[in-house]
Structure formats: structure tokens, C-alpha cells
Amino acid sequence: MDHFVDDLSSSLENHVEPFLSHDDAAPSNEADDHGFTFAEINSVRASASKVICCDFSSDGKLLVSGGHDKKAVLWHTDTLTPKATFEEHLLLITDVRFSPSMSRIATSSFDRTIRVWSADNYHGHSIRNFTGHSVAILSLDFHPNNEDLICSCDGDGEIRYWSVTNGCCTSALTGGTTQVRFQPRLGRYLAAAGENDVSIIDVETQTCIQTLKGTKPVNYVCWDPSGELLVTVSEDSVRVWALGSGSVGNCVHELGSNHSKFHSCVFHPLYTSVLVIGCNQSLELWNMTENKTMAIPAHERIISSLAASAATGLIASASHDQIVKLWK
């Protein structure tokens, strides 16, 4: 496998072009004449403590981050200046998610609550507060089509569905402890990461239709925008599974770690064959088609979360070094 470790200030531009084949290149209106490039374009000290989650609004104009200081901060993406700060949680924030269709943000916390906030008309208070989990909530997500539906999971493996309108839990099941993510576009499936596996749950029937097995705890999952592929991240490997219509959950790509533990990942918003993987201090770009990787120095500590905006082509990285960065 080809492997590159480049200094952004000197040699990155000399190596990125061979990283993609002609078949992988984005349309001409999405990339410059020099082919694939990747560089930091802005950064902000987002917290006085560890930042562990981030997400873009659907139009890419807003970015939200959260972490150990119990606050979620809403940023204007173009300037990385704060628009609002949400401060009702009593313990650290574990996940932040934008609604795909409405101007709402949801946050989960170690304080066992979920709060929903208005991103447009914030007046200092959340508009919903969900309680019912008996232990810390570790992740949550909005359904891509049903704007009323939120899903969450806690440290005991309980998954709950919530109605934003009614402010109550509509159902509960068991199957995920680390992270939950709905399948984009269709929302037919929910990926729920547990110990050494990921449960693929049929949202309508609430039954597990498949279990993706790993060798170490899965600490992060992400879907590709089409909802056909799911990526599972363990510290020693990143695996890509085919889960589209008629697929049987085959592992179609796998990358082993030989120098840095993996923590997070996201599909590049312009190059569908490229995964961006968050490691201890670096971002690792993996061209799955060519099976090439390229490591880029990025943060001083663990890169705990990554988000991508199809609307702007931007990628956000959040780190334990208290910094949030934008890349393109």
C-alpha cells in the first residue's frame, strides 16, 4: 500500500494529484485545475476543554460543536464566529446533530438528557428536554425524512425513539452503546454501534436484520450520502460495508492501522471514493479505489469527530485539543 506523510507547508501539493485516478476526480465545477487538494482553511478554539462532536447544517452555513465543557456552540461557517451558545446541560455533551429538514439542533449528554434547540430563533432556552435514559446518553440522530423522530442510545445499550412534537419516548429497544446513525435519504435502517459489532436495525419493525462483526470495539460509524455504504471505525481498522438494497452486508474495503489509532471518519463531500479518517493527531485520507493513503498533520490530540458538508465541500474536524478546524 502506498503511504504518504506530508508536511502541508511544503510537499502536500506535490503528492495529492497522484492520490486520485482520473475516474475518481470530481466534476470540473467541484475541483480546481490541479486535481485533488486538501488543506486547512480556518480554525477556532471552540472550548476550554475537549471537543468531541460536531455537525454541519444541511446548507453548510452553520456548524455546531460540543464537548466536555457542557456547552454546544453554534458557529457561522464562513467566519467561524459564534452565533449562539447552548448551556443547559449539567454534564459533558456527547453528540450534536442538525435536523436535515428543519432549523433545529439536538444534543445528548452524560446528564441523561436530550435537548432540542432552535438554530434560528434561540432565546436562551431549549425547546424540548427528553428524559428517560437511566445512564449517560452517548449518541443521538435525527431521522432524515421524519422530522419528528429522534433516536438515542445510552451506555447500557438501550436505544430510544423520541417524538419532538409530543416530547416523549415512543419506543425502546436494545442494541447500541456507542453511536447511532440513521441511513441517509431513505432512513430505512439505523446503524447502532455496540461492543465489537454494529447492529443494522429496521426502523419500521425495530428488529435487527444484520450484525456486522468486528474484532475490537466500534467507536464510530458513518454512512455514505447515498445510504449504500456504511463505515465502521475501530482503533485498529476501518471497514466499509455494502448495505444498499439487496446487499447482504459484505465488507468491501478494509484499512488496517499501522501507525496511529483510528477514532472517526467521514466521506469526502466531493470525492466519493475518499474517506477522511481522524486519528490521534493526523487526518488520514484513504482512496478506497486505489487503496492509497495519505496522512496530514491536523491537531495536537485525538480527532474525535468529523463532519462533511455537501453544500460547501467543507470538512470539519473536532479534537481533544479544544480546536475545531475546517478543511477543503
For 48-79, the DSSP string reads SS-EEEEEE-TTSSEEEEEETTS-EEEEETTT
Give me the pLDDT at residue 82, please: 97
Cell of 238: 476501518
Residue 247: the pLDDT is 66
Give me the pLDDT at residue 257, please. 87
Residue type at position 44: V
The ranges of the chain with pLDDT < 70 are 1-18, 21-34, 245-247
pLDDT in tens, 270-324: 999 999 999 999 999 999 999 999 999 999 999 999 999 999 999 999 999 999 9
| Chain centroid, CA 67 distance in Å | 14
Per the rule left: phi > 0, alpha: psi between -120 and 50, beta: everything else, 147 is alpha
The pLDDT value recorded for residue 28 is 33
Rounded to two decimals, what is the model's pTM?
0.91
Residue 111: closest CA among 155, 142, 151:
155
Name the strands in the sheet holding 62-67, side by side, starting at the edge strand that comes first in the sequence. 51-56, 62-67, 72-76, 81-86
Task: Give the pLDDT score at 246.
Answer: 62
E strands in 194-291: 197-202, 207-213, 220-223, 229-234, 237-242, 250-256, 264-267, 274-278, 282-287
Q: What is the pLDDT of residue 121?
A: 83
Q: What element of type H or E holds 15?
A: helix 12-15
**18: three-class secondary structure by DSSP:** helix
Q: pLDDT value at position 213?
A: 87
pLDDT given at position 103? 93
CATH no., domain 44-266+299-327: 2.130.10.10
What pLDDT is recorded for position 4? 35
